[in-house]
Amino acid sequence: MATPQADRNSQALLLQGRRILICRPEPEASRLAQAFQAAGAEVRRMPLMAREPLPATPERRSTLQDLDHFAHIIAVSPYAASLLLDEIDHWWPQVPMGIQWYGVGAGTAAVFAHHGLSPNKPDNGWTSEALLALPGLKDLNHEKVLLARGEDGRELIRQTLEQRGARVTVLPLYRRFRPYYAANDLKDNFAGFRPEVIIALSGETLNNLVEASSAFLATLNNALLVVPAERVSELARKAGFRNVLVPDGLADQDLVTSVASWLMQEAGDNGKPSKDARD
């Protein structure tokens, strides 16, 4: 859902005192919290998805030592790209030449670019579907592709590339899990804080949010829920969330601008800002 762009002064006005609950994993949650706080918002962090690197295996070591056999290397997230580059640095004094590098979105591509690579990324969007639309991934007759990702997740990239003739090797680098929160912490964050905006930037985070907040959904359903893609937006609406926003970008400032722009639009529709009271 595209919204009018709010300038920095408008953002400060629209976000002043707004209650934002950020459910991203760390360190992204703390970084995004700083961006919203700088715009005047009141922010709480409650990561509902955490990640940890998987232990090394002989199979993974063998794959990385054969890196020069791959024509294409794809990372599904900045975290996957960072872990992959750390392991490549361990086995290769210099990254092999002739490989096409891909990031699902701008943030992932930026990790590769910071390492001196020239990654491909979608011009618009940051989804698996947008990545698969890139010309370089259209005709892959018997070409080898390395897919760096978590130990589980959507299979769309692998399945689609295999259908296009690629020989895909999935390289699991980390696992995701839902952190534990005591009942009092959940009550405090959901019922006490009463967030007006909730940031949940993956389908798994949304699922964890729905499960964790099951006793408070009536309180949260009117909050603005920010999700990464239309696919996740549909799931959110089915779960009962009435106000769902797909932002114009996933960079921190893009998220701040998209939320402020949505609030600006709501204020225009209602004749005044729709900020609710705590009591």
- For tokens 């699991």, the residue is 172
How does pLDDT run across 135-160, given as a tens digit for each residue? 999 989 899 999 999 988 778 999 99
* pLDDT on residue 1: 43
pLDDT of res. 275: 44
Per residue of the chain (279 residues), give pLDDT as tens: 444 455 655 565 678 889 999 999 999 999 999 999 999 999 999 999 999 999 999 999 999 999 999 999 999 999 999 999 999 998 998 899 999 999 998 889 999 999 999 999 998 778 888 899 999 999 898 999 999 999 887 789 999 999 999 999 999 999 999 999 999 999 999 999 999 999 999 999 999 999 999 888 888 888 999 999 888 999 999 998 999 999 988 889 999 999 999 988 876 665 444 444 332
In the chain, CATH 3.40.50.10090 covers 8-49+181-270, 52-176
pLDDT of residue 168: 95
Q: What does the pLDDT read at residue 278?
A: 31
Which CATH code fits 52-176?
Answer: 3.40.50.10090
Say how far apart CA 40 and CA 181 lie, in whole Å.
Answer: 27
SS3 content of the chain, % helix, strand, coil (to 5): 45, 15, 40
- State which fold the 8-49+181-270 domain adopts: Rossmann fold (3.40.50)
Residue 276's pLDDT is 41
pLDDT of residue 26: 92
Q: What are phi and psi of 175, to 5 degrees?
A: -120, 150
CA 163 to CA 137: how far, in whole Å? Answer: 11
Q: What would the two tokens of residue 56 be?
A: 């090394």
| CA atoms within 13 Å, Cβ hemisphere of 153 | 25
Q: What is the pLDDT of residue 273?
A: 44
Residues 6 or more apart whose CB falls under 8 angstroms from that of 149 comprise: 75, 76, 77, 80, 170, 171, 172, 173
pTM of the model: 0.82
